[in-house]
Chain A
């Protein structure tokens, strides 16, 4: 793969710029010698056509939702409406500086306030912060809220443990650890749900709370959710809900009604903002009454005549974002929410859950299904028993040859050789059928022509890459 540094020649440039009033050398000389840069940074020198061709070529080596079906479990890769892209570029949002006084930013503050009210309603929780920039950032915010709540009650030294089901996303334990909590794993039972007996045993005066993903990463709704949250609350702990999977019950149920104290919403998942090749996202957090006093500052408030910033939170955890959060992501999410309305939100979760159960039904005769239950928005197959020493990874790579992005693989950890499939509601039935047929065909290939899988992909821009070499001989930047 050539890089931009392989293009162009010294002296080329892709944009024209204004002229300074003085020769550049003269301006440079006016910078004190001890501060002045001695050797310039080595950057590419390309003309505009070269620049455009290079990045267009790179884009064509990428697979996005617009390229095709992208059933990456737990990531909710749904269609990204085009209207949103136009709206996020409006100068009243994109061109607004965050440190202007509130009276100059009424529209943007109104946007944030409006989105905050809707998200409180959707989650059934009375407090919100829009500051977290991603889901994991929301988790960290939640753990900071836990800590502040404990500190305020004089229990900080005593309650040091966070309980985590063994199916949890890796961000959960990492977020808890950043706030100094130790992590206790709670096993899943044969249903794929939290083992209630194990939970009861783990609960005690040293437990700060639990982090739950609902539905969990097997795509299974915790049917005992009310019992779980009640047990934790009775033991003096708090309940964090990881909202990565909100798409499963959007408009049909609210975490606030299930006993959640903190809930984060991945706007880039449920509310259809583009994933950007890894970000930016947004991870607003809603909280129960008990945690409202500790929310980050500033809040966004509506007065009688205008919106303003609310700094009156003496018990706040402080800022988690330098300004207000990822506003342009929130613009897109609000547009999506307004398009849907109440009925549309129910259609979203209905369509997502229907698609997942439909695919599960079509595939369970072909692949091992360790937990055969009603699922919500995603389900987990296992690539065990393919024969010829083939693994889930081989299935994933072979899917690329059929024109599909592979599902999430090797997660959750409690399923061996996991294939975690989240179709979302925006895929036509024909696409789901084609994907199921591809997986069935691949299972047949595994029996008859295993080398097709082992050597896949055959049609991608590169063949399988040597990941061990990338660590043993690290090349993390170009040698220039």
Chain B
């Protein structure tokens, strides 16, 4: 359940890179830890964020998952469907359950992300 073509963070976010744009969601592992997701709070489009700053929250009935910006940049799109169907994050975390897209401020930061193999090892080690 860890797609090879994506990048990852130790906070269990995935990143799909398309030029200077990055699509971001939470991993299958992360949604499983949270349980039934009932609410997603997304940043406003146009918001500028620093890598590592808290940017969104994903809530289940009894837990709150904080989502951190995996890269610095500007929020250019948010998933409009999640307001009505937050459970898409459970059902299709890498597809319809995407959270937001960033226009990268510093493409060099991409080098700091994990690849699928490294993320798999991180999750496997209990991370």
Q: Which residues of A contact B (CB under 8 A)?
A: 410, 467-468, 470-472
Contacts and interface: CB of A to CB of B under 8 A. Distances in A.
A472 B62 contact: no
Interface string B89-125: 0000000000000000000000000000000000000
Contacts of B59: 471
12 contacts: A467-B36, A467-B62, A468-B36, A468-B38, A468-B60, A468-B61, A471-B38, A471-B39, A471-B59, A472-B38, A472-B86, A472-B87
B33 to A, nearest CB: 12
A181 to B, nearest CB: 19
Contacts of A471: 38-39, 59, 61
A410 B87 contact: no
Interface of B: 36, 38-39, 59-62, 86-87
Contacts of B62: 410, 467
Contacts of A470: 61
B77 to A, nearest CB: 24
A280 B38 CA distance: 31
Nearest to A468: B36
State the main secondary structure of chain A at its contact with B: helix
The CB with the most chain A CB atoms within 10 A, among B59, B60, B61, is that of B61
A467 B59 CA distance: 13
A467 B62 CA distance: 9
A410 B86 CA distance: 24
Q: Which 8 A-B pairs have the closest CB atoms?
A: A471-B38, A468-B36, A467-B61, A468-B38, A472-B38, A468-B61, A471-B61, A471-B39
A472 B37 CA distance: 9
A410 B35 CA distance: 14
B126 to A, nearest CB: 12
Contacts of B60: 468
A467 B38 CA distance: 10
A396 to B, nearest CB: 13
Contacts of A410: 62
B91 to A, nearest CB: 13
A468 B87 CA distance: 10
Contacts of A468: 36, 38, 60-61, 87
A132 B119 CA distance: 49
Nearest to A471: B38
A472 B87 CA distance: 9
A463 to B, nearest CB: 17
B60 to A, nearest CB: 8
A410 B62 CA distance: 10
B83 to A, nearest CB: 11
Given A468-B87, A471-B59, A471-B61, 14 more contacts: A410-B62, A467-B36, A467-B61, A467-B62, A468-B36, A468-B38, A468-B60, A468-B61, A470-B61, A471-B38, A471-B39, A472-B38, A472-B86, A472-B87
A413 to B, nearest CB: 10
Contacts of A467: 36, 61-62
Interface centre among B36, B59, B60, B87 (most CB of A within 10 A): B36
Nearest to A473: B38
B87 to A, nearest CB: 7
A467 B86 CA distance: 14
Contacts of B86: 472
Contacts of A472: 38, 86-87
Contacts of B87: 468, 472
A460 B36 CA distance: 24
A400 B61 CA distance: 22
Nearest to B85: A472
Nearest to B37: A468
A470 B62 CA distance: 12
A431 B59 CA distance: 39
A317 to B, nearest CB: 31
- Residue in B38, B39, B86, B87 with the greatest tally of chain A CB atoms within 10 Å: B38
A267 to B, nearest CB: 29
B96 to A, nearest CB: 16
A467 to B, nearest CB: 4
A132 B86 CA distance: 40
A469 to B, nearest CB: 9
Nearest to B90: A468
Contacts of B61: 467-468, 470-471
A468 B62 CA distance: 9
A155 to B, nearest CB: 29
Nearest to B86: A472
A467 B63 CA distance: 12
Nearest to A467: B61
A472 B59 CA distance: 11
Nearest to B84: A472
A470 B36 CA distance: 12
A59 B71 CA distance: 54
A471 B38 CA distance: 6
With most chain B CB atoms within 10 A of its CB, the pick from A410, A467, A468 is: A468
Nearest to A474: B38
B66 to A, nearest CB: 15
A5 to B, nearest CB: 27
B73 to A, nearest CB: 27
A471 B59 CA distance: 10
B102 to A, nearest CB: 28
A72 to B, nearest CB: 17
Nearest to B35: A468
